[in-house]
Amino acid sequence: MTEKLTPTDPARVGGHRLLARLGAGGMGVVYLGRADSGELAAVKVILPEYADQPEFRARFRREVTAARRVDSPWAVPVTGADPDAPAPWLATAFVPGPSLAEAVTTCGPLPPRGVRVLGRMLARALTTVHDAGLVHRDVKPGNVLLAVDGPRLIDFGIAHAPDETALTSADMVIGTPGFLSPEQARAQPASPAGDVFALGCLLAYAATGRPPFGTGAVDALLYRTVHDEPDLDGVPDDTRELLERCLAKDPAARPTAREVDEALADGTPAEATAEDTAQNPPQDTPQNTADWLPDAVVRLIADRSAEILALPDIEATALDARDPDARAGEQPTDVPEGAPPAPRPTGRRRFLLLGGAALLTAAGGGGALWAARRDDSPAPAAAPRARRWILGVQADLTGPQSTVGHAQERGIRLAVEQFNSRKDKPFTLTLKTVDDRGEAARATKVARTLAADRDLLAVIGSTGDTTTGASLDSYDERLVPQLTASSAQSVYGTSEPRHFLQAVPDYTHLPATAAYSLQTEGARRVGVLIDRGGGIPAWQLGHTMFQNLGVLKIAGEPRVAPRLAKDLAPVVAEMVADKPDGFVYTGTPARAAAVARALARTDFGGVRVLGYPAAVPEFLTAAGAAADGWQIFAPYIDPAASPVRAFATAYRKRYGSAPAYWAAEAYDVARMVITRLTEAGGRPSGKALYDLLLKGTYKGMVRSYSFDKDYRWLESYEVFRYEVKDGRYSYTGRVDF
């Protein structure tokens, strides 16, 4: 997917006319460029602040050298580079297809033969990398592009020779958590065996649609990678044994990339080289994607190629304004004075004149389009449509968290309707809602659809951690500010969201209040049971609780229950035998109920604290009388509390029922966004609105919303206490700490 050039972008880099933006990261921008030969290239340009650092230039120079040493038909080749330019740049052949990550997210897992073919071609690419004396170090689905003639391994930005250590600190974890080896997770030197481990993770993802060590916070991913066995459920039988070997904890037990190639062979001589493969494709090395990819992926690849044909006019950029010789369609210098200017090609025809041959080859079947637009007659001008002011909502409306999702959507809708009813409103706000059903794959899909609406100003959502993390990139690519009122995960995988705000205290901040309350109630020894079945929330709440107990000089006795453990009663009994006067459980509602019943059968009489994600009606029903006395410290206020009473009245009048938990928080966040839009004094860009949200402080009903300027986290940590009494959650008020 491409974006228009901005006025500050250069027009040319290293002999490439820049046509569009392909993406931007923390260290630079990647452009779609056309070389003088007419071929397309992905041109990475480093930002000035990094170009001025000698250490960074040395690393970039190493990247260029490493990439040039890789010569494989399944690795994207370098077509040009200048690491010593004022703005260092690197150009590689442009692949118009989607990444493997996008293809699997959009279309689902690959079929068994597709996994084998993909594995064999990537194993051959890695064999070439390793034969060149290099280690890639970041083999992941996002670094594999699917083209019409097969996959391409990209991004050698952190590839290096195994003995190169000068630019890497001893404790730095290099790679992408979830797709790196146990030794890399321990910050040990990378090796070819680490690339094979990552390839095993990638192929498991391609076969099942999920990483073998799960998703979530970085620390949890690294822990699972080092200690847990991979989840290979759903991997075809004909590749499972090979992936188990690739994912061995001991690097010496893993096959080499060449051995992976041989193991995946299907009638192809194992000794064939990459060059032999390119000239005589074997049975499992297809000459076009239709041989091994599902139809949906083939269509996705075709759509990506077609998008290149549909690029808009090339916008004037900074270099165009400074250097007349760099302008596309430059007026000839020998035109007589006073003569009318020669007409410039316009619209799609202008773009095809700049790079049509390469594009038509990439997309295929484009000759009719070329012929249809040969004349210079402009298309009839359409009357400009007034821009709408759209606030988006992404929520789980039909999945496991639908109660919370509906409460939030209704709270946001009430805020919008109240604003639109004002006589002095400067604009009318439209609400646009999408249902992600609590599913990560669907969250990515609906987020991409919602973000594509050019009138979208901001989005509030999603409801849960997994769906929020899955939607981050879609909104950030479009510079759409995204806010969540309920997703409290402290780290969202490996994403680096730049237009994302958590308007809720995350899991790592809540335990401080709970630990303080335990101290206030006299607890001196606290058992902390972290149930791996509760996923990231359980781990972050439990782990941080243990840390905070240590800060308060309270003896913490942690236990970690495996996800597959069927009976936690023996663990509870063992913990009670240590005579604690406090007990904390973080996990699932059903297993929390089992723990509560087991604890009730002992002589434990101390303080009991339940991690709030498990504090749902299911816990009360399953635990019965054993639920009474458990305390919950949560970021949401009781909808009947006095600070939100006026909201509850309006909610009941509008919807005919009392609001559920999380409705008031969503209402607050919506009111904050509307306030910033009003203060903008006109329609703001996504970045401008994000800056307004980041800089200001909004006094809501539930809490004051202000965000740290450097880390973007919420600065106010209001926490609310509940205690189970007579089979219901009884609200006791805000906890001041």
Domain boundaries for CATH 1.10.510.10 within the chain: 100-303
CATH of 510-634+722-735, one of 3.40.50.2300, 3.40.50.300, 3.60.40.10, 2.60.120.10: 3.40.50.2300
Architecture of the domain delimited by 100-303 = Orthogonal Bundle (1.10)
DSSP per residue, 193-208: HHHHHHHHHHHHHHHH
Q: Name the band, by pLDDT with cuts 50, 70 and 90, for residue 26.
A: low
For 715-725, what is each residue's pLDDT tens digit? Answer: 888 999 999 99
SS (H, E, C) 525-553: EEEEEEEHHHHHHHHHHHHHHHHHHHHCC
Q: List residues bridging with 430 in a β-sheet.
A: 390
Domain boundaries for CATH 3.30.200.20 within the chain: 12-93
Does residue 328 register a pLDDT over 60? no
User: Rounded distance, CA 4 to CA 609, Å?
Assistant: 52
**AA letter at 593:** A
How many C-beta atoms lie closer than 10 Å to residue 449's C-beta?
A: 11
Fold designation for 389-505+640-706: Rossmann fold (3.40.50)
User: Rounded distance, CA 104 to CA 101, Å?
Assistant: 5
Known catalytic residues are 138
Mean of all residue pLDDT scores within the chain? 82
Least confident of 32-36, 118-122, 437-441, 556-560: 32-36
Mean pLDDT (whole number) for 479-501: 82
Backbone angles phi, psi at 182, to 5 degrees: -60, -40
Least confident of 382-396, 563-577, 688-702: 382-396
Does residue 290 register a pLDDT over 70? no
User: Rounded distance, CA 562 to CA 568, Å?
Assistant: 10
Does residue 7 register a pLDDT over 80? no
Residue 214 pLDDT: 87
For 303-319, what is each residue's pLDDT tens digit? Answer: 777 766 555 444 445 54
For 81-134, what is each residue's pLDDT tens digit? Answer: 898 888 888 898 888 888 999 999 989 999 999 999 999 999 999 999 898 888
Helices of type H across 228-366: 237-246, 257-263, 274-279, 295-309, 318-322, 347-363
Structure tokens at 68: 């040039």
> 3-class DSSP state for residue 731?
strand
Fold designation for 12-93: Phosphorylase Kinase; domain 1 (3.30.200)
> 3-class DSSP state for residue 412?
helix
DSSP per residue, 587-633: S-HHHHHHHHHHHHTS---SEEEE-GGG-SHHHHHHHGGGGTT-EEE
DSSP state of 498: S
Residue 293 pLDDT: 85
| Contact (CB, 8 A) for 459 and 450 | yes
Mean pLDDT (whole number) for 598-618: 96
Domain boundaries for CATH 3.40.50.2300 within the chain: 389-505+640-706, 510-634+722-735
How many C-beta atoms lie closer than 10 Å to residue 232's C-beta?
A: 18
Angle between helices 535-551 and 510-520 (to 10 degrees): 50
Residue 52 pLDDT: 72
Closest alpha carbon to 517 in 575, 611, 582:
582
User: Rounded distance, CA 645 to CA 623, Å?
Assistant: 31
Does residue 730 register a pLDDT over 70? yes
Does residue 274 register a pLDDT over 60? no
Does residue 493 register a pLDDT over 70? no
Summary count for the chain: helices (H), strands (E) = 25, 22
For 360-394, what is each residue's pLDDT tens digit? Answer: 333 333 333 223 333 334 444 444 556 899 999 99
